[in-house]
Amino acid sequence: MSNPLDSLRRVDVEATTTSMVVRLSWWQLISLLGMLASAIFAVWIRTQDLGVQIAKLADTFESLTAYLLTRPVPPVPAEPAQQFAELCARCHGEKGQGDGMIAAYIDPAPRDLTKAAFMKTKTRERLLASVRNGVPGTSMAPWGRVLGETGSAALLDYVLDTLSKAGQSKPPTGRDVPEANPVAYSAESVARGEATFLNRCWGCHGKKADGHGPNAEDIVPRPRNLRNTPFVSSVPYPRLHESIKYGVQGTAMPAAGFDFALDDKAIGDLVNYILSLNHLGTDGSKVAAANPQPER
């Protein structure tokens, strides 16, 4: 029996309400195939025994992988604007507003790159690292492997200057953030952190800390899933502490160090509680080492 995927070529989708023809690139075709496979799997899995499910799923993805490896990889566009259209728009949207073709299927959702309040307050090094190395626990890929160092920097400049209109970043200065957790990890610290979380944080992040609190539906971007271990383990302690203490501009995350009068030790307890949810029973200074960034 021939593989139905062998008949796939470039796909044309004509919109019924406009005369626009949307041509799906090779990269977009890959994304759509993944979405289709996920949808079929969601329906099929309910009718199968677990062992049969796993075996058939493995065969399906092996066949899909083998097919995709036979497809020629298109050249990367030379200009940052074209690179964004080919590599980024399917998630972040044509205008960078986080509303790309597959954004509804991604959790956490793609970042709205037009929010100057967020983009401008992050260091260039952090933004460039996200482009170059990707973001663990999210769908953000390590595009540095495709674009290289110079190309990644040029793409970031395009986003900052054209989409977010934030210009070069100007992160806040004068913030007092400890380099390591001032509170040693312990059961007592975790218990104090849990009490603080259930008193101040669960309304947005949810009682399970999975980002599904009662207020979450009305918040864009959605509150962070604090049980996302790949993400939590990749973030250095100072960033966790700073996000809690000073909030995250361009999001609904408040400055808990001031709005809720949490001192550095209370924040340390809160971070220890978050680490416990991810089975990362260690001090915050070692968190990032648990999940190193991809090689450049």
Q: How far is CA 156 from CA 101, 141, 162, 199, in A?
A: 21, 14, 10, 39
The answer for 257, left when phi > 0, alpha when psi is -120 to 50, beta otherwise, is alpha
- When pLDDT is cut at 50, 70 and 90, the band that residue 56 belongs to is confident
| Span 48-77, average pLDDT | 82
Q: What is the pLDDT of residues 112-155, one digit of tens each?
A: 999 989 999 999 999 999 999 999 999 999 999 999 999 999 99
pLDDT at residue 225 in the model? 97
Is 199 a residue whose pLDDT tops 60?
A: yes
Rounded distance between C-alpha atoms, residue 73 and residue 70, angstroms? 9
AA identity, residue 122: K
| Residue appearing with tokens 């995927």 | 5
Q: What is the pLDDT of residues 8-27, one digit of tens each?
A: 443 443 343 333 334 556 66
Is 59 a residue whose pLDDT tops 90?
A: no
Q: Is 142 exposed, middle or buried (0-12, 13-18, 19+ CB in 10 A)?
A: buried
Between 275 and 64, name the one with better pLDDT: 275
AA identity, residue 265: K
Least confident of 29-33, 111-115, 121-125, 216-220: 29-33
Between 205 and 52, name the one with better pLDDT: 205
Strands 21-24 and 11-14: antiparallel
Domains along the chain with CATH numbers? 4-70 (no CATH), 80-163 (1.10.760.10), 187-290 (1.10.760.10)
Least confident of 47-51, 59-63, 116-120: 47-51
pLDDT at residue 292 in the model? 44
| Span 79-102, average pLDDT | 96
